[in-house]
Amino acid sequence: MAASVCRAGSSVGKALLRARSPALLNPQRNGSAVPYTRAVQNIPETQISSLANGLRVASEESGQATCTVGVWIGTGSRYENDKNNGAGYFLEHLAFKGTKKRPQAALEQEVESLGAHLNAYTTREQTAIYIKAQSQDLPKAVEILADVVQNCSLEDSQIEKERHVILREMQEIDSNLQEVVFDYLHATAYQGTALGRTVVGPSENARRLNRADLVDYVSSHFKAPRMVLAAAGGVNHKELCDLAQRHFSGLSYEYEKDAVPLLPPCRFTGSEIRARNDDLPLAHLAIAVEGPGWNSSDNIPLLLANAIVGSYHVTYGGGKNLSSRVASVAAEHKLCQSFQPFHIRYSDTGLFGLHFVTDRHNIEDMLHIAQGEWMRLCTGVTDSEVAQAKNALKTALLAQLDGTTPVCEDIGRQVLTLGQRISLEELNARIDAVSAKKVSEICSKYLYDKCPAVAGVGPIEQIPDYNRIRSAMYWLRF
């Protein structure tokens, strides 16, 4: 089994402070509250081990009555080509349609008898299959996962049935304009590369992919060194390693003819794509520059920059008194329905930008305000803004890790991409170390005088010419 065990950070279940009486009513009780930094230090550790075949086993034991355990695999649409684009998404649909050991009905009945929840998702670089169950059912959950990952039946009848399901889902996705605009953004930003393809693939592939294509995809990518068995909640790491050895030790780590699939490089291109539809009431628009990959030290300053930009929805209270400058102006002048900054990261690249929803008459004003705020981040960030952004970012990190499933996902994703899990204590130290000067320096590196990628969907006839958008990425000085 595993030769060594290393320890990293972990969840935030015990980091949430217990409710106290208001401090103003009893000032003496302030001293009894656990300081934030000490609470973070007391979070359980994440233990990581490796099997002989290269499978990594990572877990965090928080003593809860439930647990989430899953397999994270380093494959997705970025590893596909024009011919088999959508194969990973197709396999996700077939994951729970029966195995060689369990027909679909038996598999569903067994999961339901445990009161468990089985789920899966596919992204451009990762595939995940996980199950949430009672902690006492961890052995059965791991055995079911191993069966699903290694022995999916891929019956022709199920493939044909899911083919129609996927085609219907594609129609539903086309009606979700937020998903559409981000697919367009990837298509133009990474045009001609693997990241420009969608996860679901084109409808032509959904109609054409067959069992041989799916079996080839599994045999090419479902290898032990590219997998992480992650668990969080009421789990014991030694027990999890023993279960992994029992059920996953047979996973292959060899490739036919040593043809190891390499992650193809993806070039960012400043460009635009517009899908005009004047019948739609609102326009969705996303603008982004190339950001860093997962392992870059620039990510923390950029996350703080996004916290300074803030987010907004028309239902928010506060109006022009909102702390975010962009939100304040948008609310006061009714410039948009909502906006949200984003920071999408991949192994070696990323997209750092802003998505907003507005009517056709306010597109140019929203772009002007958003790009103006970006330029201000490059030159005029204040210490008070950064201090407030740090608190907001820390709160968001805690909120994102509330529950065994998001903690398990965080473990699987980080161990798969970074080879370790950065502890919340270390992450907070990195946040605290960032100054206003550092935020401006990193924003200048990625934003100032850079060519953005722009994607718009809906009534977008008033989007400015791309050259005008590009010219707003710098300030002229005389």
Q: Per CATH, which fold does 6-20+43-252 belong to?
A: Cytochrome Bc1 Complex; Chain A, domain 1 (3.30.830)
Per-residue pLDDT for 463 more than 60?
A: yes
Contact 54, 255 (CB under 8 A): no
CA–CA dist 407, 230 (Å, integer): 9
**pTM of the predicted structure, to 2 decimals:** 0.89
Q: What is the mean pLDDT of residues 411-438?
A: 95
CA–CA dist 426, 45 (Å, integer): 12
Q: What is the mean pLDDT of residues 234-244?
A: 97
How much of the chain, in percent, has pLDDT values that exceed 90?
Answer: 82
Per-residue pLDDT for 41 more than 90?
A: no
Least confident of 9-13, 243-247, 256-260: 9-13
CA–CA dist 424, 160 (Å, integer): 45
Per-residue pLDDT for 28 more than 80?
A: no
Q: Show the tokens assigned to 171.
A: 């129609």
Give the per-residue pLDDT at 35: 64
Q: What backbone phi and psi angles, to 5 degrees, belong to 250?
A: -85, 0
State the chain's mean pLDDT as an integer.
90
Q: Is 272-471 the same fold as 6-20+43-252?
A: yes
Give the per-residue pLDDT at 33: 54
Q: Which residues does the annotation mark as catalytic?
A: 92
Instruction: Indicate the domain borders of the chain.
Output: 6-20+43-252, 272-471
CA–CA dist 115, 107 (Å, integer): 13
Strand order in the sheet with 350-358: 272-276, 453-458, 283-291, 350-358, 338-345, 312-313
Residues 6+ apart with CB under 8 A from 167: 203, 206, 207
Q: What is the mean pLDDT of residues 110-137?
A: 96
Nearest to 279 by CA among 472, 408, 117, 459: 459
Give the per-residue pLDDT at 38: 65
Residues 6+ apart with CB under 8 A from 201: 77, 80, 85, 86, 87, 89, 90
Domain 272-471 is classified in which CATH homologous superfamily? Metalloenzyme, LuxS/M16 peptidase-like (3.30.830.10)
